[in-house]
Amino acid sequence: MVNRAGLRWSGAVLAVFLSLGAARAQDKSTFTPMALDAGFGHMDLNPPDVSPDDIIKKFAAKETEFQDALNHYTYRRVAKVQTLDDDNKVDGEWYEVDDVIFDPSGKRTEKTVYAPESTLQRVMMSPSDMQDIQKGYPFVLTSQEIGAYDVKYVGKQKVDEVDCYVFDVSPKQILKNHRYLLGRIWVDTTELQIVVTNGRMVPDDTRKGSEDLHPPFMTWRAQVDGHYWFPVYTKGEGILHFAGGHGYISEDVHIRDVIKYTDYKQFGSTMKIVSVDGEEPQNGKPQQQAQQPKTPK
């Protein structure tokens, strides 16, 4: 993101408040998970019955299978980025509705169906923001990509009634023009797929006058087809610090990101799989789904 004065954002996060709790970013290379208090049970720190390396290998294979399945679905993505004033009122908004579809030749593409003029005054969207919305927030960790990460087993924890393995993930190295997750994932112990992601996308540019930094976020998935866990909701919120420099004034900007993923349909089918309405996913059970984590109110 670039602000109107010429600065690039989304900054060194001073504080972030999400509906589940709060987290504080330490620096470019560390991430402290938010305090989880809604729907997250006690963390069992005992070693798992299965080797963590085996779990990692298996869930990466299952994520690869899921990614292939997702590539055969269409869906709608509704994204908004807001700035808030000192009274926590929205004073600017970027809003876009995109359909991820297939063109007549069968090639996967995105079609913008609604994009009103942005009212953001202090910041502007940048390519890295769009990259995070399109690929980073709906994080998938496949067998091909897992070699780029250090993956550390943390413990077992319930997300609502779903038993999950918990892993911290961090990039081994930062390659130019690549975005990586720095954070924590919850993996269903039965389906071996990610159900919750908590982190931030890196790298950040912390140079004064050239900030290109990004706030923490959480993404929830739901089992919308009775088998695979699909992203349904992402929220990020933070007070972002622009350090100034090169004649620019230091400034803190309160940012809120909300992304919803709805209307999943298998390519070639007219059947509606799932639709999540309202500001946040509802706690009701999706079609063909017996048990899943509830997304918070």
Residue 56 belongs to what H/E stretch?
helix 52-70
Contacts of 225 (CB under 8 A, 6+ apart): 264, 266, 273, 274, 288
**Domain range enclosing 227:** 12-266
* Nearest in space to 204 (alpha carbons), one of 193, 212, 196: 212
Does 26 fall in a domain?
yes
Whether residue 203 has a cis bond before it, omega within 30° of 0: yes
Does 90 fall in a domain?
yes
For the chain, the farthest-separated pair of C-alpha atoms sits apart, in whole angstroms, at 58
Does 7 fall in a domain?
no
pLDDT tens-place values along the chain, 297 residues long: 655 544 332 332 222 333 333 333 333 445 655 555 567 999 999 999 999 999 999 999 999 999 999 999 999 999 999 999 999 999 999 999 999 999 888 889 999 999 999 999 888 788 899 999 999 999 999 999 999 999 999 999 999 889 999 999 999 999 988 999 999 999 999 999 999 999 999 988 777 777 777 788 999 999 988 889 999 999 998 888 877 655 556 788 899 999 999 999 998 754 444 444 444 444 333 333 434 556 554
Does 293 fall in a domain?
no
Does 283 fall in a domain?
no
- Write the DSSP string, 69-86: HHTTEEEEEEEEEEEE-T
Does 288 fall in a domain?
no
Does 295 fall in a domain?
no
Which amino acid, one-letter code, is at 44? Answer: D
Does 91 fall in a domain?
yes
Burial of 13 (0-12, 13-18, 19+ CB in 10 A): buried
How many domains does the chain divide into?
1
Q: pTM of the entire structure?
A: 0.80
